[in-house]
């Protein structure tokens, strides 16, 4: 008898091992039922999402026609809800001191040869100015877990510092936070500090594997970690970002696990995760390459992304520079809605060039292009790079954000915001060549804004920007 209960507050009941195994078995037994798969995909076109069981069935199926249809339905849903805008962000590493023992991460407490550092507020200022000068408006701050080096007060002070810096036309308008699982009280403090999304990767939902991978430190407590999003929601943060590190465990298990987690949040709090990230394991210092070898092959990884797009249509999907230009290019067509650009994954990496000697990177970056190169590439592909942070600043978070997406108003809100923030980027930071291409793309896409009043307003704001004004949003 399964102990599964999607509304339970207990990790082992809302992520039920038995239920995951029975789901995987069901998917395996029904993988040749092509008619059933086709029906699932036809239903999915209504954009109401899929159950984790249906999603697992699609993932298991290796019929070529069904596979092609998975990608075409995913693209259809992505176009409908997200249009062709791709939201840009950058990670900012504040400190790599960490007391945990995660076997796959070079910041683990036992690694004695990685350079440890923690940015002072002055150093944060310099990093943020460097990021603003690239054109970034949205950051995700990253820290290891350390009670004395990285206490919550340090995180809060750093968020204040980041929001306070206004350099030339630059501003960081949304700070997402990726810190270790913490208390409801601390989540309240983060909420009051005005964070965007609280991000915490589960790494793996398999409890035994989780405990093996996290032998020491506070993170070794599976239940405390898995229930963190509940505490974040109880602390008032209604935009939470989930993720697993694909390659740590059997991918099928974690795929079902993350959908179960999404269902738990939706059933309990009326709002699923704001985003899902899809990192795969990368080489890193002091990590055994044979144990963690990026175990999910590309063709399956793409299927995972496409089925996630279909299963949770209202959840943004994030892909970092861990993945190559080629993979990112394919992923944005079938599901990914947010990518990083020009990223440095070491502490202080935006000001100080990373070298062999001073390298404190968390993982090797695959896509090493500058932000301008990524923007240019997106424009060439017909996507609008977006520096938009409007929803959070307009109070459209949690279920208010979800209703906006569900109402299909993205074309009247998201696309115009993408155009206006791209224009800001082009005016202030782009190369001449990128600027010319980007302005042409904006002109071409203006006509696709369905609401006439919105279109006129955007046209006015674009002209205002020529006169030096900035920061327009809907
Ligand atoms: Fe620390 Fe996070 Fe790395 Fe684990 S994954 S060692 S918690 S920084
Ligand atoms: Fe994101 Fe909202 Fe901006 Fe769209 S309008 S890009 S959903 S912040």
- Of all residues in the chain, the percent with pLDDT exceeding 90 is 84
Strand, coil or helix: what is 107? coil
Q: How far is the CA of 327 from the centre of ligand 2 (A)?
A: 24
* CB 229 within 8 Å of CB 235: no
- Characterise 254 by phi-psi region: left (phi > 0), alpha (psi -120 to 50), beta (else): alpha
Q: How far is the CA of 257 from the centre of ligand 2 (A)?
A: 27
Q: Read off the tokens for 357.
A: 């000697």
Q: Read off the tokens for 228.
A: 């963190």
Q: What is the CA radius of gyration of the chain?
A: 21
CA dist 266 → 14, 62, 230 (Å)? 12, 30, 11
- Residue 324 burial by CB count (10 A; 0-12/13-18/19+): exposed, middle or buried? middle
Q: Give nearest CA residue, ligand 1 atom 6.
A: 108
Nearest to 461 by CA among 429, 407, 423: 423
The mean of the pLDDT values for the chain is 94
- Of all residues in the chain, the percent with pLDDT exceeding 70 is 96
Secondary structure (DSSP) of 409-463: THHHHHHHHHHHHHHHHHHHT--HHHHHHHHHHHHHHHTT---HHHHHHHHHHHH
User: What pLDDT, in 10s, does the model give residues 434-470?
Assistant: 999 999 999 999 999 989 999 999 999 999 999 999 9
Q: Considering every ligand atom, which ligand is closest to the CA of 98? A: 1
Q: Is the CB of 474 under 6 A from ligand 2?
A: no
**Strand spans (E) along 278-404:** 316-319, 338-340, 384-386
Q: How many CB atoms lie under 10 A from the CB of residue 289?
A: 10
Interatomic CA distance for residues 109 and 215, integer angstroms: 11
Q: Is the CB of 87 under 6 A from ligand 2?
A: yes
Identify which of 84, 86, 417 to mutate to test ligand 2's pocket (most ligand atoms within 8 A of the CB): 417
DSSP single-letter state for residue 166 = -
User: What pLDDT, in 10s, does the model give residues 382-408?
Assistant: 999 999 999 989 988 888 888 877 777
At 238, the pLDDT band (50, 70, 90 cuts) reads very high
Q: Read off the tokens for 447.
A: 């006509």
* CB 196 within 8 Å of CB 176: yes
Q: Pick 353 or 154 by higher pLDDT.
A: 154
Q: What ligand 2 atom has the least distance to the C-alpha of 174? A: 8
Q: What ligand 2 atom has the least distance to the C-alpha of 85? A: 6
Question: Tell me, what's the pLDDT at 409?
Answer: 76
Question: Tell me, what's the pLDDT at 227?
Answer: 98
pTM higher than the cut 0.85:
yes
Q: Is the pLDDT of residue 308 over 90?
A: yes
Q: Give the binding-site residues of ligand 1, using a 6 Å CB cut-off.
A: 98, 100, 102, 105, 107-108, 144-145, 180, 219
Q: Is the CB of 414 under 6 A from ligand 2?
A: yes
Rounded average pLDDT over 30-34: 94
Question: Tell me, what's the pLDDT at 347?
Answer: 95
Q: What ligand 2 atom has the least distance to the C-alpha of 413? A: 5
Q: Is the pLDDT of residue 410 over 80?
A: no
Question: Tell me, what's the pLDDT at 178?
Answer: 98
- Characterise 408 by phi-psi region: left (phi > 0), alpha (psi -120 to 50), beta (else): left
* CB 132 within 8 Å of CB 167: yes
CA dist 326 → 12, 208, 262 (Å)? 38, 34, 29
Q: What ligand 1 atom has the least distance to the C-alpha of 108? A: 6
Interatomic CA distance for residues 307 and 327, integer angstroms: 16
User: What pLDDT, in 10s, does the model give residues 240-266?
Assistant: 999 999 988 889 999 999 999 999 999
Q: What ligand 1 atom has the least distance to the C-alpha of 109? A: 6
Q: Read off the tokens for 301.
A: 């990884």
- Characterise 405 by phi-psi region: left (phi > 0), alpha (psi -120 to 50), beta (else): alpha
Q: Give nearest CA residue, ligand 2 atom 4.
A: 414
Q: What ligand 1 atom has the least distance to the C-alpha of 142? A: 8
Question: Tell me, what's the pLDDT at 81?
Answer: 86
The four Cα atoms 405, 407, 408, 412 give a dihedral, to 10 degrees, of -90
Q: How many CB atoms lie under 10 A from the CB of residue 463?
A: 10
Q: How far is the CA of 385 from the centre of ligand 2 (A)?
A: 12
Q: Give nearest CA residue, ligand 1 atom 2.
A: 144
């Amino acid at each position: 008898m399964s102990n599964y209960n999607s509304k339970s507050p207990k990790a082992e009941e809302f992520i039920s091992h038995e239920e995951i195994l029975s789901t995987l078995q069901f998917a395996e037994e029904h993988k040749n039922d092509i008619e059933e798969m086709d029906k699932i995909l036809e239903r999915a076109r209504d954009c109401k999402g899929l159950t984790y069981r249906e999603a697992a069935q699609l993932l298991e199926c290796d019929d070529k026609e069904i596979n092609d249809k998975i990608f075409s339905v995913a693209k259809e849903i992505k176009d409908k809800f997200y249009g062709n805008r791709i939201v840009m962000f950058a990670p900012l590493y504040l400190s790599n001191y960490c007391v945990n023992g995660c076997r796959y991460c070079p910041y683990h407490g036992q690694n004695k040869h990685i350079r440890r550092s923690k940015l002072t507020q002055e150093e944060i200022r310099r990093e943020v100015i460097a990021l603003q000068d690239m054109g970034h408006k949205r950051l995700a701050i990253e820290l290891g877990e350390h009670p004395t080096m990285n206490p919550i007060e340090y995180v809060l002070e750093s968020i204040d510092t980041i929001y306070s810096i206004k350099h030339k036309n630059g501003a960081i308008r949304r700070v997402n936070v990726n810190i270790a699982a913490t208390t409801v009280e601390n989540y309240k403090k983060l909420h009051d500090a005005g964070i965007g999304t609280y991000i915490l990767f589960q790494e793996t939902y398999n409890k035994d594997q989780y405990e093996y991978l996290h032998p020491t430190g506070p993170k070794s407590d599976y239940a405390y970690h898995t229930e963190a999003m509940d505490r974040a929601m109880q602390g008032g943060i209604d935009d939470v970002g989930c993720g697993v590190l694909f390659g740590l465990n059997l991918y099928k298990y974690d795929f079902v696990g993350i959908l179960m987690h999404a269902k738990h949040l939706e059933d309990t709090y009326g709002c699923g995760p704001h985003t899902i990230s899809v990192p795969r394991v990368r080489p890193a210092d002091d990590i055994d390459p044979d144990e963690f070898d990026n175990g999910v092959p590309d063709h399956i990884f793409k299927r995972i992304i496409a089925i996630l797009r279909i299963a949770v249509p209202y959840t943004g999907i994030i892909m970092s520079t861990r993945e190559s230009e080629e993979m990112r290019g394919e992923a944005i067509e079938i599901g990914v809605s947010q990518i990083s650009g020009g990223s440095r994954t070491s502490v202080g990496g935006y000001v100080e060039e990373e070298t062999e000697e001073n390298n404190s990177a968390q993982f090797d970056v695959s896509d090493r292009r500058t932000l301008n190169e990524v923007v240019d590439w997106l424009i060439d592909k017909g996507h609008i790079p977006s520096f938009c942070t409007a929803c959070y600043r307009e109070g459209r978070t949690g279920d208010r954000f979800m209703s906006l997406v569900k109402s299909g108003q993205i074309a009247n809100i998201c696309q115009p915001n993408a155009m206006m923030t791209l224009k800001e980027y082009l005016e202030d930071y782009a190369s001449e060549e990128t600027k010319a291409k980007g302005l042409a793309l904006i002109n071409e896409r203006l006509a696709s804004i369905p609401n006439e009043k919105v279109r006129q307003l955007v046209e006015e704001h674009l002209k205002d920007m020529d006169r030096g004004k900035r920061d327009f949003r809907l």
